[in-house]
Amino acid sequence: MTPAGVPSASFATLQGCFAIAPDAMLAVDAEGTIVLANLQAESMFGYPAGTLQGMALDVLVPEPLRHAHRKHRDDYLRRPRTRPMGIGTELLGVRRDGREFQVEIGLSPVATEQGLITIASVRDISETRRVQQAMERTRRDTFVMQIGRLALESRDYERAIQRIPELVCTALDVPAVAILSTDWHRSDLRVRAFTGLSAQAAETLAATFGETRFVRSTFAAGGPDAVTLETLRGGQHATIRANLAAAGFHDVAMVPLFGRDEPLGALVALAYAPAGFDRDKVGFLQSVATLLSATVERSRSEEQLAHAQRLDAIGQLTGGIAHDFNNLLTVVSGNLQLLEMELSAQPQAQEAIDSALRAVDRGADLTRRLLAFARRQPLRPRAIVPQPLLEELGHMLRRTLGEAVAVDVDCATAVPDVYADPNELDTALVNLALNARDAMPRGGRLAITAREIELANADNEWKLPRGQYVAIDVADSGTGMPPEVQAHALEPFFTTKVSGKGSGLGLSMVYGFVTQSGGAMAMDSRLGYGTRVTLVLPVADNEPGSRRELPQAAHSAEPPRHATILVVEDETDVRTIATRFLRAIGYDVIAVADAREALDTLRAQPAVDLLFSDVVLGSGMNGVELAREARRSRPGLAVLLTSGYPGAEDRQAADNRLDGFELLRKPYRREQLVSAIQRVLEGG
């Protein structure tokens, strides 16, 4: 029975039509046997005249495709109809000599006296396809040149990178393209530029491919140079497919962006249809990725350079003013303390003096934070046992952050000692905790954990030398930061808080302290999911030669009898304050302005028990040189040095002891000065 809608014709009519048809024509019965073939078909497939008739149609199909071809033929016979094949997709035929070539086929069913016959009109499009492919490659090469000029010649890298996804979309005729990359201090990938995606789809893409570990594992040494959904393997394949389908896509092509043997990111193209990326499209993406890698690397280098220049500028600025500023604070603080002693019976005056002294402390702390960010703050590192430090910090934070913030501390006793300045480490962790509290206005969870990590080679995500380190994580469940805020979070004075609620130096100070301590810092924050800051610090070697803090023993206010102190200070007001402090306590004081006068005084006054000198004395000898010279003539002389900032002319003061001389930082309180004087006299 002839299916409805199928035309009828005699076999003789078909033979006549085949003889005059310009295209290759084949007639095939329901069993897949060729019952009629014209000369054009025999010539196309390389068979002698009259030999195709009676053969199975499968001989004209490449062997790997024959099973699928039979299935398609059976499906067609169940519902025969006129239809084109091979338009927009690749169909292959095979010649008698085994060479494969691309074809387009038109199918038409015809009812004859011999039964249902399928007429196939076959065209060899291999040459046409080669021409099309050559034209397409030329077109894409033009796009590569355009992207290359944009990426490598543009002065505005960010604007250039934002335009590249649109050009790639146009070149490949795909709906969406995204560039994932890291900045110079983050380890996770972020969507840096995209087109054809909603903001939510871009976030899904970042979550899917958002770890450099994924890029490392996918494109490991000896692995593929690119992947599509068809070639991607591993446990994440199903998750990636589901995430793409949720965003409306069914294929992906991803090529890595590598720089200096580390993943900088990936170029990702998305398609609506499965198998949307052939070899040519992937090759084009690889060419663009090579250009992008150079662009991202240059952009990162410029970010690093700009950050280093900002850091150096702030360091030079702070270093230039720190000594003078701390001298001013010493004068202000000293006079306030003198007033405090004289007006001890007036509560209102005491309240005003206390307020002014707190302002002095904030000024000194601001200078210290700037120095810490610029990595010029003098550090006194020693071995720190992390568990008691973190446990004590946890107890303090539970009292100060309030009941709305749950503080969890997790540090095993097996975590090794950290080599760092304990005061600066404590300050850094408190800064991070306060930032976390501010990010949780309705309360939440703050987790502080410590663990040991081993960096086996120099090619690690922290860019640190090989060795043992301790990683301290401070994580909150707060509001998190969007990428544009996180990109600037480590810059000095950058803050999202309202005016007067923050200086913008907290994270900057932490970053400067960790870097100066030989460690590294990473930050992972996502809007709505909280923030995690990781500090990586070196493990202490615990050898006998390791430096230790000088003991800060308490001393009574009663000075030794008949102690004479030589004060050397080139700033008149500071010299006056020190002199008044010491005389008020009961010391005999001789005050001079420079090193030469001090040496003359020491020769003339053998009764001097202690030399108290500023390190920076203007022209001539500095305080360290003065102390050395004084010790040569007076070996038993006690020495105490003071300084507002260990700058370029004061580099020897980077440690708390300078050739055995103790250092007192400005601005100092009266009790700190007395304690240091007594400690040095007793030790001298």
Range with the poorest average pLDDT among 197-211, 345-359, 577-591: 197-211
Mean pLDDT of 138-158: 74
Range with the poorest average pLDDT among 151-155, 188-192, 225-229: 151-155
Contacts of 423 (CB under 8 A, 6+ apart): 380
Beta strands per DSSP E along 327-462: 382-384, 405-411, 418-420, 444-455
Q: Is the preceding omega at residue 22 within 30 degrees of 0, hence cis?
A: no
**Pair 338, 410 in one domain:** no
What are the φ and ψ backbone dihedral angles of 348, each rounded to 5 degrees? -65, -40
Q: Is residue 556 a part of any domain in this protein?
A: no
Q: How far is CA 16 from CA 9, 19, 21, 30, 475, in A?
A: 11, 5, 9, 21, 83
Among 315, 350, 373, identify where a domain stops.
373
Neighbours of 609 (CB within 10 A): 19
Q: Is residue 37 a part of any domain in this protein?
A: yes
**Pair 367, 386 in one domain:** no
SS3 376: coil
Q: Is residue 5 a part of any domain in this protein?
A: no
**What pLDDT was estimated at residue 242?**
76
106-110, 180-184, 276-280, 550-554: which is most confident: 106-110
More confidently predicted of 381 and 239: 381
Q: Is residue 200 a part of any domain in this protein?
A: yes
**What pLDDT was estimated at residue 533?**
92
Q: Residue for token digits 């020693």?
A: 382
The alpha-carbon radius of gyration of the chain (Å, integer) is 40
More confidently predicted of 64 and 483: 64
Mean pLDDT of 440-452: 92
**Pair 366, 386 in one domain:** no
Question: Residues of 383-405 as b/e, b for ≥16 C-beta within 10 angstroms?
Answer: bbebbebbeebbeebbeebeeeb
More confidently predicted of 143 and 562: 143
Q: What is the C-alpha separation between 487 and 183, in angstroms, rounded?
A: 8
Strands 190-195 and 83-85, how do they pair?
unpaired
Q: What is the CATH number of the domain that holds 113?
A: 3.30.450.20
What are the φ and ψ backbone dihedral angles of 232, each rounded to 5 degrees? -70, 135
Neighbours of 87 (CB within 10 A): 10
**Pair 321, 463 in one domain:** no
Q: What is the CATH number of the domain that holds 627?
A: 3.40.50.2300
Strands 588-592 and 530-538, how do they pair?
unpaired
Q: Locate 310 and state its tokens.
A: 């900002």
DSSP secondary structure of 244-279: HHHTT--EEEEEEEEETTEEEEEEEEEESSTT---H
**What pLDDT was estimated at residue 5?**
64
Q: Locate 436 and state its tokens.
A: 């976390």
Q: What is the C-alpha separation between 32 and 422, in angstroms, rounded?
A: 85
**Pair 658, 591 in one domain:** yes
Q: What is the CATH number of the domain that holds 510?
A: 3.30.565.10
Among 124, 154, 184, identify where a domain stops.
124
Q: What is the CATH number of the domain that holds 288?
A: 3.30.450.40
User: Which of 564, 630, 574, 573 has the alpha carbon at shortest distance from 597?
Assistant: 630
**Pair 431, 485 in one domain:** yes
Q: Is residue 558 a part of any domain in this protein?
A: no
Q: Is residue 552 a part of any domain in this protein?
A: no
**Pair 294, 368 in one domain:** no
**Pair 397, 366 in one domain:** no
Contacts of 600 (CB under 8 A, 6+ apart): none
Residues spanned by the domain of 341:
305-373
Amino acid at 75: D
Q: What is the 3-state secondary structure (H, E, C) of 454-513?
A: EECCCCCCCCCCCEEEEEEEEEECCCCCCHHHHCCCCCCCCCCCCCCCCCCCHHHHHHHH
Among 286, 304, 322, identify where a domain stops.
304
**Pair 290, 153 in one domain:** yes
The total of structural domains in the chain comes to 5
Q: What is the C-alpha separation between 684 and 677, in angstroms, rounded?
A: 10
Neighbours of 426 (CB within 10 A): 17
The answer to whether the beta carbons of residues 612 and 567 sit under 8 Å apart is: yes
More confidently predicted of 675 and 301: 675
The answer to whether the beta carbons of residues 182 and 264 sit under 8 Å apart is: yes
Mean pLDDT of 431-450: 89
Neighbours of 529 (CB within 10 A): 12
Q: What is the CATH number of the domain that holds 316?
A: 1.10.287.130
Neighbours of 684 (CB within 10 A): 12
Element (H, E) at 34: strand 34-37
**Pair 352, 222 in one domain:** no
Range with the poorest average pLDDT among 20-29, 41-50, 270-279: 270-279
pLDDT band at 513 (very low <50, low <70, confident <90, very high): confident
Residue 547 has pLDDT above 50, yes or no: no
**What pLDDT was estimated at residue 568?**
92
**What pLDDT was estimated at residue 55?**
93
Q: Is residue 1 a part of any domain in this protein?
A: no
Residue 620 has pLDDT above 60, yes or no: yes
The answer to whether the beta carbons of residues 636 and 599 sit under 8 Å apart is: no
**Pair 414, 492 in one domain:** yes
Q: What is the C-alpha separation between 279 and 274, in angstroms, rounded?
A: 14
Range with the poorest average pLDDT among 318-332, 366-380, 647-661: 647-661
The answer to whether the beta carbons of residues 336 and 360 sit under 8 Å apart is: yes
Q: Residue for token digits 């900045």?
A: 183
Q: Is residue 495 a part of any domain in this protein?
A: yes
More confidently predicted of 304 and 48: 48
Residue 539 has pLDDT above 90, yes or no: yes
What pTM value is reported for the model? 0.46
End-to-end CA distance of the chain: 121
Residues in the chain, total: 684
**Pair 180, 315 in one domain:** no
Beta strands per DSSP E along 163-250: 176-181, 190-195, 227-228
User: Which of 379, 374, 365, 458 has the alpha carbon at shortest distance from 418?
Assistant: 379
